[in-house]
Amino acid sequence: MRRRTFLLSVVAASAALPALGTSAASATTTCAGLQLLSGPEFPIGAFWPPSMQPRFNSLDRFQEMKDAGFTFSFVGAGDSDDPAYVGSSLDFAARVGLKALVVNGPDRALQVADTYQSYQSFAGFRLSDEPGPDQFGSLANGLAAVRSKVPGLLPYINLYPQDGDGFRAYVQGFINTVRPVMLSYDSYPLFADGSDDPNYFSRWQIFRAIGLGSGLPTWHYIQSISYNGHRLPTAPELAWQINVNLAYGCKGIQYFCYWQPPNTNETFGPALIDYDGDRTALYDAAKAFNLGWLAPVGAELKPLVSEKVTHANESPLPAGTLGFTADPYVTGTSGSAVIVSRFRAVARGQRTRWLLLANRSHNAVARTNVAINTATVSSVSRFDPATRTYNPDSTTVSVSLDPGAAALYRLDASGEWLDPQLHLVLVGNGAVYHALQETAGGWDGPNELGDASRLVATAEVNAELHVVEIDGNTMYHRIRFIDGSWAPHNAFVTMSGISSVAAASVAGELHVALVTNRVVYHAIRHADGTWDGFNRLGDAADLIAIAEVDGELQVAEIDGNSIYHRVRSADRNWSSRNLLASLGSVTSVAATGAGRELILGIVAAGNLCYSVKHADGSWIFPTATGDVAAQVSVAMVGGEVAFIFTANDGLQQRIRHSDGGFGAVSAIATPVRPTALAATGRSPDPCA
């Protein structure tokens, strides 16, 4: 049992919170979307509110919390709470303008939801804290039931931290099973010996990638108390934690703790408020920071998408981080170490960007210069949190940041980028070409990239197109950014006898599979740019296709006349290889995820076929479409599946609609006869 779970269990076990008389607020909460996630206000919450001690469950104490810049609080201790007492806390929260998440499990939440609906502060339920994987199944049922009963309220669940593959598997397993509407976890980096957690950034990198890969907003707890092995933060250390979180795309900040809990099996020091109810210096620091920086800057960043996070002027780099490289917006940096974090609008075509510069140090001033690319950026302005406006700045940004501080800039750029709904990469006459189909349906390209190749694979990761090319025996990797620019064409591995290659985005990371000398290999490019693999799977195959479904890697292998299927789960384990069907003369196979279904495109004996694996595990076995084809690729496009295939030396497209029916064939103009092709649709868009 972990820290907050233990604390709540102590309170719940000691006694049910006492009943108090209260006059409930009469207004009922209404919101177009889920509360706290929707709307312009940035969520700033805290664990262990005033109501955890009945003598402090009062209007003035909730007002004190509101005055410190908090926007929501957790109330209640567990399922045994007296609803009248919880109602009194909800009433106080409503009267001061705070939102509240009631601490109840799913079963209890269904029982009391109607009781709390009359309180204007009632924003949802904290259904579970730091659940283990063995709890995911019951939580999935409970969360679905709560959403069905009170669809406008937030069903909140917080996760515990891990490192590396264990953390990836835990978070992705949670998403696959529970189907949450958001992600939250806690990680406390400030150790009692004065050091900082060396895995703080790598953990955030993993969490950010999964959040972006699933389209879910990410929240986080920050440390605002001392306890066993952890020190009480200074004001700069508090600011540093929050600004690091913002830099990594966090959409909601939670303090652990607001009030000092009682000592249990751990020794807790004072938080913003000590156990006896007296304010500490950290209260004043948090108040100034929440009101003067976090609330206004958070409101600016909340509707934006985290596009790129790098660490500049720092060597060695912290574990799991990306070093700064020049791009179309920032051409260089110098001076002190900073986190350079770039954000974009949800609308991908918009060229304007936002740049957050966060001091990497919580004990020293950072003086850093950032050179802006004036070929892209027409003007630079710095955000003033006091007025919530942007003031003109120089295109050579010179910033001085106090310990733990950050600065936000808007990089204005006119015009729009092309906004693809589908990318198509093909090989013709040994050269690589790229085309994109815009959201309006028209095509741009194919345009020659200048690379020599014989096989290609593609996947989009957080709106960036990753292209894998096989030239001879060498695999190359390159990226097309959202602005249309391309990263260098880099050789990754040389392996003889490569006959097939495939790529897919899984949990915000790039997966690549290839067949060499009839043996299957697999590799992963992590969010920090490092690679794991190639690792030999040992399967015999001639052709391979991969796709993501439910955060798992789905694999189709062609071995002679046999089509096999297997799955790599979020915990890195591989299922057995199962025979799907037997077809003669298979020359091409491709795969894509479509919601919770796997769609295969197969060319057998010159005929285009498709196969579908439903969410319940049943299959539509390979079925001919009636089209002649030699090569095929498939991609998810706007809720439907595009089959792109070569036929009669040309390139054609046919759409499988969401009802399972097929549209008419349309031709795609191409300057060359395609001999290999790969298509990919859009990566998940973040929830608004």
Ranges of the chain whose pLDDT falls below 50: 1, 6, 10, 12-32
Strands 44-46 and 252-256: parallel
pLDDT at 527: 86
pLDDT at 18: 43
Rounded to whole angstroms, the Cα distance separating 492 from 616 reads: 38
Tell me which DSSP letter residue 350 carries: B
pLDDT at 266: 80
pLDDT at 4: 53
Rounded to whole angstroms, the Cα distance separating 521 from 507 reads: 20
Cα separations in angstroms, 203 against 126, 240, 397, 412:
23, 16, 30, 32
Say if residues 84 and 15 touch (Cβ distance below 8 Å). no
Tokens of 36: 């706290």
The predicted model scores a pTM of 0.90
pLDDT at 29: 26
Question: For 543-596, what is each residue's pLDDT tens digit?
Answer: 999 999 988 999 999 999 999 999 998 888 999 999 999 998 999 999 999 988
pLDDT at 5: 53
Question: For 39-63, what is each residue's pLDDT tens digit?
Answer: 999 999 999 999 999 999 999 999 9
pLDDT at 488: 87
Rounded to whole angstroms, the Cα distance separating 592 from 514 reads: 16
Q: What is the 3-state secondary structure (H, E, C) of 580-635?
A: EEECCCEEEEEEEEECCEEEEEEEECCEEEEEEECCCCCEEEEEEEEEECCCEEEE
pLDDT at 450: 86
